[in-house]
């Protein structure tokens, strides 16, 4: 414990920080942005489609090229040596860079307002690599208490083997966060909205506190995507994604992204992801780029239908509690409205009763599919306590409201009326 009062201050610092960010973003676009830059287009759905053109505008193939090369040849030994040493920019081996993935990386960086991004082999590869880049033996992490089960497992199972310890804290309480900051704390790791209970955390306030103690702030933006929330604009240092979910959006790729400042991303590429072999392959990058083109309309539809489902559930007599940030009953509804463009595609709720009621409801669904994943066109249902968060100890689960009666639904792209009809008939069997 270091201090008892949060250092919520430095509006001036924030201004400086965001002006620096805007400037670096300008430099980034100036250097690398092609295609729609002359039109000064700055809307996310457009960027998802046109982000970066590898060919001159309106000439050449519209779909991106797949270059699955592992090796790259050089005109002479000197060029090979200069490339591997970093003296000259260029690809030399598939584990450290690929042109198809690099095209997509530029698009993701632009979308997240980061200087650079790195495509990796899964969301967990993004999370583990981003964390390990900033952590050494004997360092300490502060993590939000309701975090994705895989992230919890990494921080409690793998990280301690390398001397890294973690405190899981209720990050809606900034005093509680400051209380656990130690001399060796290096990273604040958060997820907002959280999985599965959709707790919203104040990114700006937490980032200011963390920065005042010299911590890096890493945020999992999987649930929101840059269409709905841009953590870097709000003060975070690094954004991680499971692209397996909305970014790809079709349930046929496992992949991830890390976004942040160019120096950190370069270090991750050369000294972490490449060395650990967590690389994204060109075929997957192609599929993600294709899926990304419809991200704008998909997120709109996910949000609209989720709101309808949440409202339907909230008035249903079999339902105890609904977790959806778009509902005025959500404890952080106002904060959600402030920091998110819309409320996302995940609705969680508690049935009256317990495990048996949840089981009967899930088994009775006809349209929704039972699945661990989310963000697909299909409506997907899961039971967090026994599925995605099975590895979290019972007492930790209960601290985060992950009870036996909790159900999470990833609202798909079917007609909202049909999704509701399915839920209604399943509730009648409970």
Binding site for ligand PLP (CB under 6 A): 122-124, 148, 150, 191, 195, 220, 222-223, 242, 244, 254, 256
* Buried/exposed code over 68-79 (b: 16+ C-beta within 10 A; e: otherwise): eeeebebeeeeb
Phi-psi category of residue 251: left, alpha or beta, with phi > 0 → left and psi -120 to 50 → alpha:
left
| Set 28, 148, 152, 246: catalytic member | 148
CB of 253 to ligand PLP, least distance (A): 9
| Set 32, 72, 93, 95: catalytic member | 95
Active site residue 245: yes
Q: Could you write out the DSSP letters of every residue in 285-343?
A: HHHHHHHHTTHHHHHHHHHHHHHHHHHHHHT-TTEEEEE-TTSTTSTTHHHHHHH-SS-
Phi/psi at 320 (5° precision): -85, -45
In the numeric block, which tokens belong to residue 265? 């991303």
Judged by CB, which is closer to ligand PLP: 189, or 361? 189
Distance of alpha carbon 134 from alpha carbon 154, whole angstroms:
15
* Buried/exposed code over 131-165 (b: 16+ C-beta within 10 A; e: otherwise): bbbbbeeebbbbbbbbbbbbbbbbbbeebeeeebe
CB of 7 to ligand PLP, least distance (A): 29
Judged by CB, which is closer to ligand PLP: 207, or 388? 388
Judged by CB, which is closer to ligand PLP: 122, or 306? 122
CB of 333 to ligand PLP, least distance (A): 21
Residue 375's contacts (CB-CB under 8 Å, 6 or more residues apart) are 222, 244, 245, 246, 247, 249, 302, 345, 410
β-strands 380-382, 346-351 pairing: unpaired
Query: Any idea how long the chain is?
Result: 430
Judged by CB, which is closer to ligand PLP: 127, or 206? 127
| Set 107, 245, 298, 405: catalytic member | 245
In the numeric block, which tokens belong to residue 378? 């299909």
Judged by CB, which is closer to ligand PLP: 112, or 220? 220
Judged by CB, which is closer to ligand PLP: 202, or 220? 220
CB of 166 to ligand PLP, least distance (A): 16
Closest C-alpha among 129, 279, 151, 313 to residue 223: 151
Judged by CB, which is closer to ligand PLP: 123, or 291? 123
In the numeric block, which tokens belong to residue 12? 């001036």
Cα Rg for the chain, rounded, in angstroms? Answer: 22
CB of 125 to ligand PLP, least distance (A): 7
Contact 110, 289 (CB under 8 A): no
Judged by CB, which is closer to ligand PLP: 52, or 124? 124
CB of 56 to ligand PLP, least distance (A): 35
Active site residue 220: yes
Distance of alpha carbon 336 from alpha carbon 324, whole angstroms:
10
| Set 139, 146, 202, 220: catalytic member | 220
Closest C-alpha among 338, 313, 282, 340 to residue 430: 313
Closest C-alpha among 253, 381, 333, 284 to residue 66: 284
Q: Is the peptide bond prior to 196 cis by the omega test (within 30 degrees of 0)? A: yes
| C-beta nearest to ligand PLP: residue | 123
Distance of alpha carbon 416 from alpha carbon 412, whole angstroms:
9
CB of 345 to ligand PLP, least distance (A): 12
Q: Is the peptide bond prior to 193 cis by the omega test (within 30 degrees of 0)? A: yes
Residues acting as catalytic residues: 95, 148, 220, 245
């Amino acid at each position: 414990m270091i201090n008892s009062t949060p250092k919520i201050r430095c509006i001036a610092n924030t201004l400086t920080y965001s002006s620096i960010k805007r400037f670096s973003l300008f430099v980034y676009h100036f250097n690398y942005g092609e295609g729609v830059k002359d039109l000064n287009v700055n809307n996310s759905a457009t960027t998802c489609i046109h982000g970066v053109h590898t060919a001159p505008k309106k000439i050449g193939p519209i779909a991106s090229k797949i270059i699955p090369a592992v090796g790259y040849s050089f005109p002479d030994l000197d060029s090979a040596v200069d490339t591997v040493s970093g003296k000259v920019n260029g690809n030399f081996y598939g584990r450290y860079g690929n042109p198809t993935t690099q095209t997509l990386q530029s698009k993701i960086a632009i979308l997240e307002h980061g200087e650079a991004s790195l495509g990796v082999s899964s969301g967990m590869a993004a999370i583990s690599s981003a964390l390990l880049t900033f952590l050494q033996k004997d360092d300490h992490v502060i993590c939000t208490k309701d975090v994705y089960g895989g992230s919890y497992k990494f921080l409690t199972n793998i990280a301690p083997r390398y001397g890294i310890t973690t405190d899981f804290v209720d990050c809606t309480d900034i005093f509680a966060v400051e209380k656990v900051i130690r001399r060796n704390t290096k990273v604040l790791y958060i997820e907002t909205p959280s999985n599965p209970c959709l707790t919203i955390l104040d990114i700006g306030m937490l980032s200011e506190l963390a920065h005042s103690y010299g911590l890096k702030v890493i945020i999992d933006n999987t649930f929101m995507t840059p269409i709905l929330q841009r953590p870097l604009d709000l003060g975070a240092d690094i954004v991680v994604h499971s692209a397996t979910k909305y970014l790809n959006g079709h349930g046929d790729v496992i992949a991830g992204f890390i976004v942040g400042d160019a120096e950190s991303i370069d270090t991750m590429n050369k000294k972490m992801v490449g060395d650990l072999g967590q690389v994204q392959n060109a075929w997957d990058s192609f599929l993600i780029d294709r899926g990304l083109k419809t991200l704008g309309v998909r997120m709109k539809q996910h949000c609209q239908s989720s709101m309808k489902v949440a409202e339907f559930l909230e008035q249903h007599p079999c339902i105890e509690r609904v977790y959806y940030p778009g509902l005025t009953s959500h404890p952080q509804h106002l904060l959600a409205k402030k920091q998110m463009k819309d409320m996302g595609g995940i609705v969680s709720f508690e049935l009256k009763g317990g495990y048996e009621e949840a089981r009967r409801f899930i088994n009775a669904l006809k349209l929704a599919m039972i699945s661990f994943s989310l963000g697909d066109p299909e409506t997907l249902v899961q039971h967090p306590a026994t599925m995605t968060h099975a590895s979290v100890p019972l007492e930790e689960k209960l601290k985060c409201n992950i009870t036996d009666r909790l159900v999470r639904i990833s609202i798909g792209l079917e007609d909202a009326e049909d999704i509701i009809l399915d839920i209604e008939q399943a509730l009648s069997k409970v």
